[in-house]
Amino acid sequence: MNEALILVGIVLVGTSGLPGAFLSRQSAVGERVAAVLMVVGSTCGIAGAGAVALAARLTDFSLPWAVPGGELAVRIDGIAAMFLLQIFLIAPLGSIYGLRYWKQSEHPDNGRKLRLFFGVLTAALALLVIAHNSLLFLLGWETMALAAFVLITTEDTDEEVHAAGFVYIVATRVGTLCLFAMFALLHVAAGSWTFAAPSAMAPSLANTIFVLAVVGFGLKAGMMPMHVWLPGAHANAPSHVSALMSGVLIKSGIYGLVRVCSFFEHPPLWWGVTLLVLGIVSGVLGVAFAIGQHDMKRLLAYHSVENIGIITIGIAIAVIGRSLEQPELVVLGITGALLHVWNHGLFKALLFLSAGAVLHATGTREIDQLGGLAKKMPWTALAFVIGAVAICGLPPLNGFVSELLVYLALFRSMLLASPGAWIAGAFGAPALALIGGLALACFAKVFSTVFLGSARSDRVDHAHEAGALMIAPMAILAACCAFIGLVPSAIAPILDHAARIWAPETSHGVPLGSLAPLSLLSVTGFALVTLLALGGVLIARLTGPSRVRRSVTWDCGYAAPSSHMQYTASSFADSLVRLFSWALRPEQRSPSLASPFPRTASFSSHVPDTFLDRAILPTLRGIGRGFVWFRWAQRGNVHVYLLYILATLLLTLLVRR
């Protein structure tokens, strides 16, 4: 029943854009049909996945499939259900938002393509999450990757979009290559393409599988330094696509990593340590790069890298806990990571949707051109500030709960005698604190510069509040953030179930509720809300209309402050960018004073992606030069490439015999 609901949901969602593709460019029927199909399909999916998650049992389903070795084997367990719920919540919200944000009448050229592949991407994500067979998984994975490419390059006439799409496609191909190798090795070890824990395997084989999984899935998740495709792709895609990509798509990498790690009951300690180092590097440098950005959506994209880092730290502690046979660490680490997957999906989608509303209203992503938007777009501002508080991991919202679980795991690892464990805690916890502090600085910067103060350019003057179709999805996401933050014990059973699936041997009798103070978090959360409300009433009483005077901002006696005297985002970030200049390599052009009467001068600063510009592109260019001779094989004709595929297949068959 549940699996049928989910499969129907996947089919409906996957074909949601199809009717519209056959309708005329001007017709608004297609977009409405797509949104309705998306919502109906997702409701089916949420019903099915929710039932599995709450009932804490798994559902199997399998059909024969003509692909050699392939089987249409589907398994919906606690982990898959968590990811499904996220996919089926965020995708339809993005679709509803798109009705207003990417109207067919305003985008006749690419609106139909966008909706078609939006549905395909959602369905592919859901398919890969429930796949119980390597080949089915790879089918979903490749469909997802290619659909995302089409979506990133929605506005394919723009040069910047082209570049971003190209970097993405290269990164995703490399990742898939690693995954092919990894699944082939898993097949060697387990003897079948079905997902299952391989019984015994040589350590070197297991290590190779782990490294390939980290690279292949890490490229998709955007772990540093494999994140290079992510900022450009997220910045240039339409905002509801960015929300889906950042909130859900990159989590498919996390899903793969979580799934593969679950196969190994006794991982060596260095696996966990490697993941921890990757997590800390992604977290700290992700947020450091974010601070240097002045493009709102690029900034949010770097925060995805940061949050992937936090999730990876959680997985790392769970893997370390597994190697040391510490069930508490396993449960806290994996539930923290999975809950953060949910939470990041919610608040990052919220932030991208509100950033999209700003972009829609003002036509720019440049933070330093904006300002004072809270007065013109109060609801968008409220949505953004809720997302900002949540992403900084501040109470009483959801980000705090998942970060608390990861912190608890790190603190508990401090208490163990094994040096590997407590060194992990001693580095992980302060790193997480640093990430939190820097994220706070970054979101204070972007929220204040965009929404507070006064307008920095005339783009703001024509801004208008987003329509109800754009506000409603944001409101739902914000409500989810508040709900998980205030009543975390409500989702504890779902997390417990997922943890049992992940590590069946260790998590018997260690419920999350006994390890983490979930119900007390509700007490403190509601206490905080009550105190804030009381304080609000108090200050409203003390500053009644009769006792308040309005005036200009006090500028130390200067009577005519102008909006250009405000602190900009770049100046706010300057001291932090300097602290991290060893990694960020900021490019600055400052004016030099040549004469006693200075002329008009300009200052600019920019933080490019060091890894892409200084490491990866030069390396790839070098490789490209070395392989110039191979270009003869690139004929540019489809039939030649088909010939190559046929020849390769024949060759493989010959070798196998």
CB of 350 to other proteins, least distance (A): 16
Residue 282 to residue 279: CA distance in whole angstroms: 5
Q: Which of 12, 321, 572, 616 is the binder for other proteins (CB under 8 A)?
A: 572
Q: Is 588 in the site for other proteins (CB under 8 A)?
A: no
- Rounded to whole angstroms, the Cα distance separating 171 from 182 reads 17
Nearer to other proteins, 196 or 527 (CB): 527
Per CB under 8 A, the segment of 162-170, 218-226, 344-352, 568-576 that binds other proteins is 568-576
- Cα(81)–Cα(575) distance, integer angstroms: 44
Kindly tell me which of 519 and 648 has the beta carbon lying closer to other proteins. 519
Interface segment toward other proteins; rule CB under 8 A; list 222-230, 246-254, 459-467, 556-564: 556-564
Query: Which residue is listed with tokens 């490419």?
Result: 149
Residue 449 interacts with other proteins (CB under 8 A): yes or no:
yes
In the shown chain, the binding pattern of residues 513 to 552 toward other proteins, with x for contact by CB under 8 A and - for none, equals --xxx--xx-xx--xx--xx-xxx-xx--xx---xxxxxx
Cα–Cα distance, 385 to 451 (Å, whole number): 9
- How open is the CA angle 170-634-611, to the nearest 5 degrees? 25
Least gap, CB of 394 to other proteins (angstroms): 4
Report residue 33 CA to chain centroid gap.
28
Instruction: State which residue, 131 or 577, has the beta carbon closest to other proteins.
Output: 577
Q: Verify cis geometry, omega within 30 degrees of 0, for the bond prior to 19.
A: no
Interaction of residue 108 with other proteins, rule CB under 8 A: no
* 461 binds other proteins per the rule CB under 8 A: no
- Which one of residues 148, 431, 484, 499 is an interface residue with other proteins (CB under 8 A)? 431
Binding segment toward other proteins, per CB under 8 A, in 74-82, 139-147, 395-403, 584-592: 395-403
The CB-of-418 to other proteins minimum distance in angstroms stands at 11
Q: Which residues contact 170 (CB under 8 A, 6 or more apart)?
A: 229, 620
Residue number with CB closer to other proteins (532 or 650): 532
Question: Is residue 321 near other proteins by the rule CB under 8 A?
Answer: no
Q: Which of 300, 527, 281, 491 is nearest to 402 (CA)?
A: 491
**Does residue 375 touch other proteins according to CB under 8 A?**
yes
- Closest separation in Å from C-beta 563 to other proteins: 7
| Contact with other proteins (CB under 8 A) among 295, 366, 465, 574 | 574
Q: What are phi and psi of 29, to 5 degrees?
A: -65, -40
Task: Please list the residues that pair with 295 across neighbouring strands.
Answer: 366
Which of 200-208, 294-302, 335-343, 569-577 is the region at the interface with other proteins (rule: CB under 8 A)?
Answer: 569-577
Q: What gap in Å lies between CA 550 and CA 558, rounded to an integer?
A: 17
Alpha helix segments (H runs only) across 18-158: 18-21, 29-55, 78-101, 111-130, 134-152
| Residue numbers 478-517 binding other proteins by CB under 8 A | 515-517
Residue 607: φ, ψ to 5°? -110, 100
Residue 28: count of CB within 10 angstroms of its CB? 14
Cα gap 591→602, rounded to integer Å: 6
Minimum distance, C-beta of residue 86 to other proteins, in the bound complex (Å): 24
Tokens 């108090």 belong to residue: 538
Cα–Cα nearest to 416, from 509, 336, 330: 330
Structure tokens at 600: 């008009």
**Closest separation between CB of residue 589 and other proteins, Å?**
21
- Closer CB to other proteins, residue 48 or residue 372? 372
> Rounded to whole angstroms, what are the CA distances from 78 to 136, 144, 494?
19, 22, 7
Q: Is 366 in the site for other proteins (CB under 8 A)?
A: no
Residues between 411 and 430 that touch other proteins (CB under 8 A)? 411-412, 414-415, 419, 422, 425-426, 429-430
Cβ proximity to other proteins: between 200 and 556 the closer is 556
- Interaction between residue 54 and other proteins (CB under 8 A): no
Distance CA 162, CA 53 (A): 40
Question: Of these, 108, 437, 622, 624, which contacts other proteins (CB under 8 A)?
Answer: 437
- # chain residues binding other proteins, by CB under 8 A: 84
Site for other proteins contains 140 (CB under 8 A): no
Q: Is 289 in the site for other proteins (CB under 8 A)?
A: no
Q: How far is CA 80 from CA 7, 58, 110, 207, 431, in A?
A: 13, 9, 32, 25, 30
Residue whose CB is less far from other proteins, 95 or 566: 566
CB of 487 to other proteins, least distance (A): 16
Closest CA to 234 of 177, 186, 165: 165
Which DSSP state fits 505?
T
> Counting contacts by CB under 8 A, is residue 576 touching other proteins?
yes
Interaction of residue 458 with other proteins, rule CB under 8 A: no
Candidate ranges 38-46, 162-170, 553-561, 630-638; the one touching other proteins (CB under 8 A): 553-561
- H/E element holding 73? strand 71-76
CA distance 486 to 527: 10
Q: What secondary structure letter does DSSP report for 368?
A: G
Q: Residue 239 CB: number of other CB atoms within 10 A?
A: 29
Considering the complex, what minimum distance in angstroms separates the CB of residue 42 from other proteins?
A: 33
Q: Does 444 bind other proteins (CB under 8 A)?
A: yes
Among 38, 235, 370, 392, binds other proteins (CB under 8 A): 392
Q: What's the closest the beta carbon of residue 451 comes to other proteins, in angstroms? A: 8
How far apart are the C-alpha atoms of 588 and 606, rounded to whole Å? Answer: 6
228 near other proteins, judged by CB under 8 A? no
In the complex, minimum distance from the CB of residue 481 to other proteins, in angstroms, rounded to a whole number: 14
Q: Which is closer to other proteins, CB of 135 or CB of 516? A: 516
Residue 313 binds other proteins, judged by CB under 8 A:
no
Would you call the peptide bond into 396 cis, given omega within 30 degrees of 0 as the criterion?
yes
If one asks whether residue 438 binds other proteins (CB under 8 A), the answer comes out as yes
